């Protein structure tokens, strides 16, 4: 049925609707929007697509079951349709997503409707007689400004919606430069697979850590760097978030660990007896043979397990707490150290820190670099006191000034790390730094 003959009233044409929720489906959506574009050109004056993502349906499904979930979906759809008006048709395109097609509507009108829609979604919905809040995120795209086909219009609107959700904005218009950046990072994955097998591209930078009580070298943190053949050094923030969601994270981790174990063993001839800190992504916790693969590498090394510390980001641990405790306990039982990175940024630091099998907490640099403010100093001091009571080591990240270094010492922080002590250095430069500072016995 074409858009010219199908009614826009959401209560008509029941035969075209989802049998569970009585809403127009994804098939209806494509039947209606496809005729509006012919040979890459509009057959109407203007066309905009709004995609709405509703967060919370999964919880309702798990807690109350599919019937209650469908009831809430109907509540949400009725409220959205009432807000937008019956001149526009609402489609239920996936379990969590809805869409509106705007024909012959200018950008200012669409923007105003978005504001009204999000305002309407702020009020709670009834779930089994209880008021429950759902979060809504909106993405908007326009044809032909950002798309040359129906599929591209849908993709760009969904991209904007996903981006809004990622950055916690209620709504976003499609922006091509953000899309280009995301695509560029994705395509880097294709190059990374080759780089992992190429000894010249994936490198390790080492940042020293010192014992704040003695001034002596405590250890070193290994940091991944990618020296791309065309793009030069690529910062880890530009590729690691994508790698973590791909099968490449495990082989990349193995490569970094293999390199750092060899380098650390080589430095023993210089007199280095410190610890080696290696970042471990919690996405690897779902790899069935992760422990076996890491144990094989570690078992072949001359470095004793108690000198190897795996750093886990606090927020990610809290997201997988039970499973994380089980795996981290395996590491501890094998003799390896465990450090919680970016301590203080997670949502349950104090509640669970005593349950985690860790021996070091790394205080996030945001707090360390704000110790000139009462709240910054108070948080660092509280973390140091907590660690002492739990018999844990503390490491302050991001020390950049003498004042920050002195404050950490005064507050009882055990270990320091940051640009004041030493920037991340590649192997040859770090060896020079190591020789100089091992000769003097203290960091100069």
Name the residue among 354, 281, 272, 357 with its Cα closest to residue 319: 281
Active site annotation includes 397: yes
Q: What is the DSSP string of 285-321?
A: GG-TTHHHHHHHHHHTSSS-GGGEEEEEEHHHHHHTH
Distance from the Cα of residue 361 to its chain's centroid? 21
Contacts 24+ apart (CB under 8 A), 378-385: 379/344, 380/407, 380/408, 380/411, 380/413, 381/411, 381/412, 383/343, 383/344, 384/411, 384/412, 384/413, 384/414, 385/412
Rounded (to 5) percent helix, strand, coil in the chain: 45, 20, 30
Among residues 16, 311, 397, 431, which one is catalytic?
A: 397
In this structure, the dihedral spanned by the alpha carbons of residues 196, 189, 235 and 295, taken in order and rounded to 10 degrees, is -40
Q: How far is CA 66 from CA 9, 61, 69, 131, 318, in A?
A: 26, 5, 5, 18, 28
Name the residue among 442, 209, 234 with its Cα closest to residue 339: 209
Name the residue among 183, 185, 178 with its Cα closest to residue 242: 185
Task: Tell me how far apart the alpha carbons of residues 55 and 67 are, in angstroms, rounded to a whole number.
Answer: 18
Strands 37-38 and 41-42: antiparallel
Task: Tell me how far apart the alpha carbons of residues 360 and 369 are, in angstroms, rounded to a whole number.
Answer: 20
Task: Report the 10 Å Cβ neighbour count for 35.
Answer: 13
Q: Looking at the chain, how many residues does it have?
A: 444
Q: How far is CA 136 from CA 51, 118, 161, in A?
A: 10, 7, 10
Classify residue 151 as exposed, middle or buried by CB count within 10 Å of its CB (0-12, 13-18, 19+): exposed
The pair of structure tokens assigned to 64 is: 């109350």
Task: Tell me how far apart the alpha carbons of residues 284 and 245 are, in angstroms, rounded to a whole number.
Answer: 10
Question: CB neighbours of 106 closer than 8 A, spacing ≥ 6?
Answer: 46
Active site (catalytic) residues: 397
């Amino acid at each position: 049925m074409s858009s010219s003959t199908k009614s826009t009233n959401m209560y008509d044409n029941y035969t075209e609707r989802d049998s569970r929720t009585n809403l127009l489906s994804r098939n209806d959506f494509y039947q209606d929007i496809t005729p509006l574009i012919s040979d890459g050109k509009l057959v109407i004056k203007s066309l905009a697509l709004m995609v709405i993502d509703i967060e919370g349906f999964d919880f309702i499904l798990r807690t109350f079951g599919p019937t209650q979930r469908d009831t809430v979906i109907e509540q949400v759809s009725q409220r959205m349709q009432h807000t937008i008006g019956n001149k526009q048709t609402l489609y239920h395109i996936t379990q969590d997503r809805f869409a509106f097609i705007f024909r012959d509507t200018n950008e200012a009108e669409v923007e105003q409707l978005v504001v009204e829609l999000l305002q309407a979604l702020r009020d709670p919905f009834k779930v089994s007689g209880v008021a429950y809040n759902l979060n809504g995120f909106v993405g908007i795209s326009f044809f032909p400004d950002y798309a040359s086909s129906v599929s591209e219009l849908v993709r760009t609107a969904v991209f904007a919606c996903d981006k809004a959700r990622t950055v916690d904005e209620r709504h976003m218009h499609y922006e091509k430069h953000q899309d280009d950046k995301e695509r560029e990072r994705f395509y880097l994955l294709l190059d990374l697979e080759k780089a992992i097998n190429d000894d010249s591209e994936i490198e390790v930078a080492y940042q020293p850590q010192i014992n704040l009580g003695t001034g002596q070298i405590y250890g070193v943190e290994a940091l991944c760097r990618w020296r791309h053949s065309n793009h030069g050094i690529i910062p880890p923030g530009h590729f690691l978030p994508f790698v973590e969601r791909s099968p490449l994270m495990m082989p990349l981790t193995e490569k970094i660990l293999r390199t750092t174990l060899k380098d650390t063993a080589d430095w023993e001839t210089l007199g280095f007896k410190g610890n080696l800190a290696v970042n471990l992504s919690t996405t690897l916790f779902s790899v069935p043979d992760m422990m076996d693969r890491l144990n094989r590498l570690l078992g072949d090394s001359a470095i004793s397990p108690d000198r190897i510390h795996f750093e886990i980001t606090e927020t990610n641990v809290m997201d997988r707490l039970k499973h994380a405790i089980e795996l981290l306990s395996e590491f501890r039982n094998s003799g390896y150290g465990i450090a919680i990175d970016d301590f203080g940024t997670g949502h349950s630091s104090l509640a669970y820190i005593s349950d985690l099998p860790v021996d070091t907490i790394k205080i996030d640099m945001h707090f360390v670099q704000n110790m000139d403010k009462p709240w910054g100093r108070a948080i660092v001091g509280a973390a140091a006191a907590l660690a002492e009571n739990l018999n844990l080591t503390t490491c302050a990240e991001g020390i950049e000034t003498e004042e920050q270094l002195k404050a950490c010492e005064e507050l009882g922080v055990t270990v320091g790390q940051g640009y004041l002590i030493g920037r991340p250095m590649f192997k040859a430069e770090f060896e020079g730094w190591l020789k100089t500072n091992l000769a003097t016995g203290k960091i100069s």
